[in-house]
Amino acid sequence: MPLTMLPVGKKAVVNTCRAKGKTKKFLEGLGIIPGTPISVLSEIKGNLIVCIKGTRIAIDRGIAQQLTVEFQC
């Protein structure tokens, strides 16, 4: 499912990144790569504040839709 559908407070694992070019490299630089745990801390007008590797990151809704995640058991 897209990251935008992950409820606030739930944890998941990044599955794939459909972003291209500079956007994909930027996300990789932030540590948003497949297999990395991620959780949504808050949502404001579709934009997300996520926690990845103990760091809070703001992600635009358009970019968040390009990240697919799966629930972590």
Whole-number Å distance between alpha carbons of 23 and 49: 17
Instruction: Tell me the per-residue pLDDT of 5-63, one tens digit each, with 9 for 90 and over.
Output: 999 999 999 999 999 999 999 999 999 999 999 999 999 988 999 999 999 999 999 99
Full-model pTM: 0.86
Domain spans of the chain, in order of start? 3-71
Report the 10 Å Cβ neighbour count for 36: 14
Architecture of domain 3-71: Roll (2.30)
- SS3 per-residue string spanning the chain: CEHHHCCCCCEEEEEEECCCHHHHHHHHHCCCCCCCEEEEEEEECCEEEEEECCEEEEECHHHHCCEEEEECC
